């Protein structure tokens, strides 16, 4: 079969025009030298990273202004497939003008998004997403070298999704914050598992130590246990009125009502809330809350939604409750 046949039709169309252009004409390809650093008035940084799984490798060159930590110029050299070249090219361009710390927040999903022709169409097929992972890794190598620290000091090694650089703790926080019950909602909210899908469950093209389904099962079990403990506490409190409760008992009581009557409503709209504090301002009990997710930017959060929350707590807990968003 001729090579042209291998990259024609549907296969070739899975790559954005930007990716194809940078495969053939990378704009940041090259190297920087000590002479360049002297000319620009910065420090030369040269970092290497290689992917053992596919044999691709990339070398990143920076000239950094040591007074501001700003990256003045960035170049790369790559040994790998066309996707690796295009991703490295985009990565090098994205670094310019950022501080070293800002550059460490450039993830491979940022690189992939930068290479899209439109925001709704992926730039590369899912199985090639790993090629852009090197972009993130080589940035970490360069940043660690510039700062004179070990690379592991700059990254949480507990990464669940390599494609989106999502940590286990981020997944746990999302499950708890949004009361997630289905793995599809983890993917929607965190982007973990949205690309190569290897981290969702066993059976993907790349084995993992832990999967999203495992984390979801563990956190749901913890949440169920916490609810049982809250119910037990409430039972022990018996007929104890709100004004006689300790602050811990009050928070647990209010949280239980929110879990049962309010949180499901908020989560349906992509939002949530958390209790910040409960203060006595007799005859009132002021409950300070913070909106999360979509509720944080929703205009109804300070009107209809707030009224519904306050009305429910007045009915279920104490008529003197006031709810105040912060």
Which sequence positions are flagged as catalytic?
Answer: 54, 131
Which segments of the chain are extended strands (E)?
A: 43-50, 57-65, 70-79, 159-161, 166-167, 271-281, 284-293, 321-325
45 DSSP 8-state letter:
E
Contact 112, 136 (CB under 8 A): no
- Residues whose CB falls within 8 Å of the CB of residue 157, separated by 6 or more in sequence, listed in order: none
DSSP assignment string, 150-196: -GGGGS-S-EEETTTTEEHHHHHHHHHHHT--SHHHHHHHH-TTSSS
Residue 274 burial (10 A CB sphere; 0-12, 13-18, 19+) = middle
Contact 8, 54 (CB under 8 A): no
* Among 210, 137, 105, CA closest to 168: 210
Half-sphere exposure of 14 (CA within 13 A, CB side): 12
CA 318, distance to chain mean position in Å, is 39
């Amino acid at each position: 079969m001729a090579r042209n046949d291998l990259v024609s039709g549907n296969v070739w169309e899975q790559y954005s025009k930007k990716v194809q252009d940078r495969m053939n004409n990378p704009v940041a390809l090259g190297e920087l030298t000590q002479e360049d650093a002297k000319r620009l008035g910065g420090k030369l940084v040269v970092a290497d990273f290689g992917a053992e799984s596919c044999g691709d490798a990339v070398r990143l060159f920076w000239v950094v202004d040591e007074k501001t930590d700003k990256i003045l110029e960035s170049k790369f050299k790559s040994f790998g497939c066309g996707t690796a070249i295009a991703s490295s090219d985009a990565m090098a361009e994205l670094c310019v003008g950022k501080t070293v710390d800002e550059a460490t927040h450039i993830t491979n999903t940022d690189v992939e998004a930068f290479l899209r022709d439109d925001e709704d169409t992926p730039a590369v097929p899912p199985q090639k997403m790993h090629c852009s992972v090197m972009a993130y890794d080589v940035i970490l190598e360069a940043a660690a070298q510039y700062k004179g620290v070990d690379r592991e000091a700059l990254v949480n090694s507990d990464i669940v999704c390599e494609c989106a650089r999502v940590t286990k703790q981020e997944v746990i926080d999302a499950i708890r914050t949004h009361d997630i019950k289905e793995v599809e909602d983890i993917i929607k909210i965190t982007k973990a598992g949205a690309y190569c899908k290897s981290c969702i469950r066993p059976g993907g093209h790349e084995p993992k130590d832990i999967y999203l389904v495992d984390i979801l099962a563990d956190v749901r079990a913890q949440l169920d246990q916490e609810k049982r403990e809250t119910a037990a506490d409430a039972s022990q409190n018996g007929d104890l009125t709100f004004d006689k409760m300790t602050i811990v008992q009050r928070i647990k009581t209010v949280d239980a009502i929110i879990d049962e009557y309010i949180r499901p409503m908020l989560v349906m709209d992509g939002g949530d809330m958390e209790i910040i504090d409960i203060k006595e301002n007799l005859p009132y009990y002021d409950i300070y809350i913070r909106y999360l997710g979509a509720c944080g930017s929703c205009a109804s959060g300070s009107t209809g939604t707030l009224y519904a929350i306050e009305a429910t707590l007045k009915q279920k807990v104490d008529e003197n409750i006031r709810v105040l968003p912060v």
